[in-house]
Amino acid sequence: MSTLVFLEHHGDAIQKGSLGLLSKAASLDPDTSAVVIGSGVSGLASQAAAYGAAKVFIADDASLEAPLPQPRVDVIAALVQANGFDNVLFGASVLASDVAGGLSARLDAGLNWDLSDLAVEGGALVGKRSALGDTIVADVGWTSTPRLALVRSGSFEPAERSGAGAVESAAVSLQEFSGKATMLDQAHETASGPSIEEADILVTGGRGLGSPEAFAKLEELAAALGGAVASTRAVVDSGWYPYPTQIGQTGKTVAPKLYIGAGVSGAIQHKVGMQSSQTIVAVNKDANAPIFDFSDFGVVGDLHEVIPALTALVKERKG
């Protein structure tokens, strides 16, 4: 068996999720290689070797500077064709999902996503996949190689293990359509104020607030409880609340002692960022909202009534 792990990097750092996946893959298959794709990325090879890669492929080219998926499909497809990898693994992200989806069609290779664990059984890779909003965990497999997998971020902690780390440069030859989409402005994280990752209590607002002004109600509750305010992607995309407060797959992963969600539906991409909260309380007017499936205490009701009333009760108790 042989395995290739896609290593996603941002700036000079390989993403922690990619390194965790690499160490897991190397523990399952000694013949595990990694690939780093970008511009000016040769220096990243040593980081990969330290997490168990027997070989590190580097695709270094100006045309790969922007983190866009389609050129990466070209690079990885060529590597798979030349080296015959049995498994190609990705730590889930916006970029990696689009790369994996494209590669699946290019190679007619099966892709399983949302995997929380990987194992080798009878010489073949099998995965654990959470499905239907985590109401079921399926054992999934592949009927042909290469087997493509997207692993949920945070599934594996990076563990240092020595790999030979032989560095090899990968050919870069792009399809005509792969270069058509271009990056005008690339996202860069900006330092912000107090982080929601530090707070013991988070009051989270979603689109159910109805307007950016309604966040004031949550700020008041958070202040009364001694917590901070967090948000969902829907409200951040809409410009109602700043991106650094966003919980979820493309936001922060938090594990407060108390999470209170108001007007949050509990979409899976939000849930993955807050499911380790010790206690979860939800207020939502839709009794079928998925958030009730994983709340310790849920109230089906209008947040505009319940939240201010709760704030008043908390203030009253604190005197």
Partner 1 sequence: MKIAVCVKEVPDAGPGRRMDPGTMRLDRSGERSLNSYDLNAVEEALRLKEAAGEGEVVLVSMGQEKALESIRKALAMGADRAVLISDEGAAGSDLVATSYVLAKALEREAPQLVLFGQSAQDSDGAVLWASVAERLKLPMVSQISELEVAGGQITAKRQTEFGYDRIQSPLPAVLAVADSLNEPRYPSLKGIMGAKKKPQDVVKLADLGVEADRAGQAGSRTTVSALNPPPSRGDTVKIEDDGTGAQKIMAFLVERKFA
Ligand X SMILES: Cc1cc2nc3c(=O)[nH]c(=O)nc-3n(C[C@H](O)[C@H](O)[C@H](O)COP(=O)(O)OP(=O)(O)OC[C@H]3O[C@@H](n4cnc5c(N)ncnc54)[C@H](O)[C@@H]3O)c2cc1C
* Six-digit token string for 128: 């654990």
**Binding positions for ligand X, 103-162, rule CB under 6 A:** none
Residue 2 gets which letter from DSSP?
Answer: -
Q: Which is nearer to ligand X, 12 or 237 (CB)?
A: 237
Sheet holding 32-38, edge to edge: 124-131, 111-121, 147-151, 87-91, 3-7, 32-38, 55-60, 166-169
Asked whether position 10 contacts ligand X by CB under 6 A, the answer is no
CB nearer to partner 1: give 137 or 166.
137
| Residue 300: contacted member of partner 1, ligand X, none (CB under 5 to 8 Å, by partner type) | partner 1
- Smallest gap from Cβ 15 to partner 1, in A, equals 8
Cβ contact 232:207 at 8 Å:
yes
Relative orientation angle of helices 215-225 and 303-318, to the nearest 10 degrees: 30
Interface with partner 1, residue 160, by CB under 8 A: no
Question: What part of residues 117-156 is at the interface with partner 1 (CB under 8 A)?
Answer: 126, 130-144, 150
Count of residues interacting with ligand X (CB under 6 A)? 29
For residue 305, the one-letter residue type is E
- Contacting ligand X (CB under 6 A), which of 9, 10, 161, 304? 304
Q: Verify binding: residue 299, partner 1, rule CB under 8 A.
A: yes
Which of the stretches 8-16, 61-69, 149-157, 231-239 binds ligand X when contact is defined by CB under 6 A?
231-239
User: To which H or E segment does residue 88 belong?
Assistant: strand 87-91
- The angle at the Cα of 163, spanning 159 to 164, to the nearest 5 degrees, equals 165
Residue 301 in contact with partner 1, rule: CB under 8 A: yes
Q: Quick one: which of 266, 269, 261 has its CA closest to 299? A: 261
- Is 208 a binder of partner 1 (CB under 8 A)? no
Which residue type occupies 64? L
What's the DSSP call for residue 294? G
- Give me the residues that bind ligand X (CB under 6 A), please: 94, 206-208, 232-235, 246-251, 263-265, 267, 269-270, 273, 283-286, 289, 302-304
